[in-house]
Structure 1
Amino acid sequence: MKTRAALFHAVGQPLEVVEIDLAEPRPHEVVVRMAAVGICGTDLHQVKGEFRRPTPMVLGHEGAGVVEEVGDAVTRVRSGDDVVLSWAPSCGECAGCRRGRPATCRVLNAAIPNGTLPDGTTGMSYGGETVYRGTATGCLAERVVVSEQVALPLAGAVPSDQAALLGCAVLTGVGAVLYAAGVEPGASVLVIGGGGVGQFVVQGARIAGAATIVLCDPVEGRLDAARAQGATHVVGPDELRGLMRAELPDGADYGFDAVGYPATTETALRATREGGTAVIVGLPPQGERLDLDPFELIRKEKRLTGTLYGSEDPAVALPVMLEHVRAGRLDLASSLGPSFPLDEVNAAVETSLAGEAGRVLVVP
């Protein structure tokens, strides 16, 4: 089977749109015709050289599309179903999967740095050479073959461009609030970073009933978006300290770092009140280390934790998110940025790197 896909070769080189070979679906696999793929921060880490993974690679793991073909043993979806891709299938055996957290699956997390599916294969090639998969998915293409566990049915609940966001940004951002932190009504929340994930942390805080939601980001367009999505206060980095003194002098009950760099994590932790919780949501570049003052945690009894993919099984979290969408509590459209055809994938990447306020999409 053939498909056009965007190949990442090396830092500083443009992605190359070529026709690659896809292995035919195995019994528990499906072919998905991609309708929309979001450019996620994980993809940008690879483009900037902050992640070191094998190449050539098809990036992309946040996407939605339509099932075109199913393997003989597939039972979860049928041809013609609208689906969103989840990059975290469960092996069903490791400790993470047994506790309902497939994003922490040992098998999966060993595969991702190697650019493969959990079983060690890629099912992709170009000119007879192996093509690797970004985040065990590789959906920046017209078609992709994935496990039926990866293709979660949408039942036509949302348009495909909005559905793509459910594949990563929504589950990660809203999940960080509802599942990882457990923000309660009336709480105060600080969000560092208003990109794709940060905007959904803001929405998650609003859904949870937070009374004060502060969004900090240097990009004016992101501040405007966050204000519309429920932030009660928006501010640039230089003004954050003053705003916190005026509005939350004791600190926020919850501080979320939606960027993931050590400096932003330190800011989120420092701005969290005594007895409060700071949550690292964004992924740092490979090899970064966090320099902590233990007294920040001991004397002030603060809690610092991380969250991956919203700290819930995607198959469990997705129906919850869809219900929030149907009830009007979760707004997907407001987080959409510009869309580009597959042939203009490099323009999409550059637009995202420039700090576009909304999620940049590729529509293969």
Structure 2
Amino acid sequence: MKTRAALFHAVGEPLEVAEIDLEEPRADEVLVRMVAVGICGTDLHQVKGEFQRPTPMVLGHEGAGVVEAVGDAVTRVRPGDEVVLSWAPSCGECAGCRRGRPATCRVLNAAIPNGTLPDGTTRMTWRGETVYRGTATGCLTERIVVSEQVALPLGEGVPLDQAALLGCAVLTGVGAVLSAARVAAGSSVLVIGAGGVGQFVVQGARIAGATTIVVSDPVEARLDAARRAGATHLATPDELRDVIRAEFPDGTDYGFDAVGDPATTATALRFTRDGGTTVIVGLPAQGLRLDLDPFELIRKEKLLTGTLYGSQDPALALPAMLEHVRLGRLDLASSLGPSFSLDDVNEAVDASLAGEAGRVLVLP
């Protein structure tokens, strides 16, 4: 079948909206008409050349849509169902999948840098040439074929533009707090970076019952958004040291780096109190290394850890997030930024690169 998609060719070149060929769904696959796709930091790494992946590639892995067709063996969804895409299906066999952490799946993580689905195929072509998939998904397209495990049922009550955020930013940010760090009620939290994921780290901290939530970001609009999400203290990077010294001289109980740069990780670790926990949430550019003083971990007994996709099984985490939405504890609408058509995908990318406070969406 034919579908229109945004193709990334090379750094410095605009994405090209073109008609590509998409194979029909197999027995265990579904065809989804995409309604909303979020521009994630992972996509921006590719655009900036900080990740090396094969091209041409359809970026996008955070999205929601409507099932149009299903294979004969599909049982979880049917045509007409609204779904959220999860980029981490489980192979069911490797150590990561057996312990309920499919984002760490060896098969999946071998496929992602190669731009393929977990089975090694892409099922997309353009002018006879293979089209690769960003983060084993590639949903900046009008229609997409994915395995049944990728299309998670949404149910009713959540608009699809808001639901798109559940596919990555929400599960990553809220999960980092509730599952990876297990933030205790009454604690203090520092969040470095108030982009799409960072704002949901803030919401996760609020849901967990953190008493104080300090947020640092260089963009004023993002700080304003963090305040609305539940932050109690705001600071630019230049102001952060003074804020911590004045309000939290011993440091915060938890530190979250929602940026992923070695410098921001070092800042989060520095301002975490002795015996506290620092979590790396954001993805760094490919090849960067973290320079650590081991005494920061030994003498001060700090815990430094990382989290991928919220350290949980998305198929189990999504219903929990939807319950938070239903009860009014999790606000999706406030984190939405501007929306663009597929034809205006490059404007969407530019808005994200410029530091737009809300999650930028493409509506194919």
After TM superposition, the score normalised by the length of structure 2 is 1.00
RMSD across aligned C-alpha pairs, in angstroms? 0.4
Q: C-alpha distance in 2, partners of 1:349/1:88?
A: 23
Q: Does the aligned pair in 2 maintain the 1:87–1:137 contact within 8 Å?
A: yes
- Structure 1 unaligned regions, length at least 5: none
Deviations 1:66-98 (A, max 9, x none): 000000100010000000000000000000000
1:343-354 matched pairs, under 5 angstroms:
343-354=343-354
In the other structure, the counterpart of 1:273 is: 273
Q: C-alpha distance in 1, partners of 2:226/2:331?
A: 11
Q: Does the aligned pair in 2 maintain the 1:157–1:322 contact within 8 Å?
A: no
Deviations 1:286-330 (A, max 9, x none): 000000000000000000000000000000100000000000000
1:6-17 matched pairs, under 5 angstroms:
6-17=6-17
1:181-330 matched pairs, under 5 angstroms:
181-330=181-330
Q: C-alpha distance in 2, partners of 1:18/1:213?
A: 44
Q: C-alpha distance in 2, partners of 1:146/1:321?
A: 22
Q: C-alpha distance in 1, partners of 2:189/2:51?
A: 30
Q: C-alpha distance in 1, partners of 2:189/2:65?
A: 34
Question: Counterpart of 2:312 in structure 1: which amino acid?
Answer: E
In the other structure, the counterpart of 2:117 is: 117
Q: Give yes or no for the alignment of 1:56 onto 2:53.
A: no
Runs of 4+ residues over 6 Å off in structure 1? none
Deviations 1:103-138 (A, max 9, x none): 000000000000000000000000011000000000
Q: C-alpha distance in 1, partners of 2:239/2:286?
A: 29
Deviations 1:267-303 (A, max 9, x none): 0000000000000000000000000000000000000
1:51-200 matched pairs, under 5 angstroms:
51-200=51-200
Q: C-alpha distance in 2, partners of 1:317/1:161?
A: 19
Q: C-alpha distance in 1, partners of 2:210/2:157?
A: 27
Q: Does the aligned pair in 2 maintain the 1:63–1:167 contact within 8 Å?
A: yes
Q: Give yes or no for the alignment of 1:45 onto 2:45.
A: yes
Q: C-alpha distance in 2, partners of 1:104/1:328?
A: 31
Percent identity over paired residues = 84
SS, match of residue 118 in structure 1: coil
Displacement, 1:156? 2.0
Q: C-alpha distance in 2, partners of 1:159/1:334?
A: 13
Question: Counterpart of 2:330 in structure 1: which amino acid?
Answer: L
Q: C-alpha distance in 2, partners of 1:33/1:201?
A: 29
- Structure 2 unaligned regions, length at least 5: none
Q: C-alpha distance in 1, partners of 2:324/2:85?
A: 19
Deviations 1:1-50 (A, max 9, x none): 11000000000000000000001100000000000000000000000000
Question: Counterpart of 2:334 in structure 1: which amino acid?
Answer: S
SS, match of residue 173 in structure 1: helix
SS, match of residue 190 in structure 2: strand
Size of the alignment, in residue pairs? Answer: 364
Displacement, 1:178? 0.0
Displacement, 1:157? 2.9
Q: C-alpha distance in 2, partners of 1:102/1:156?
A: 26
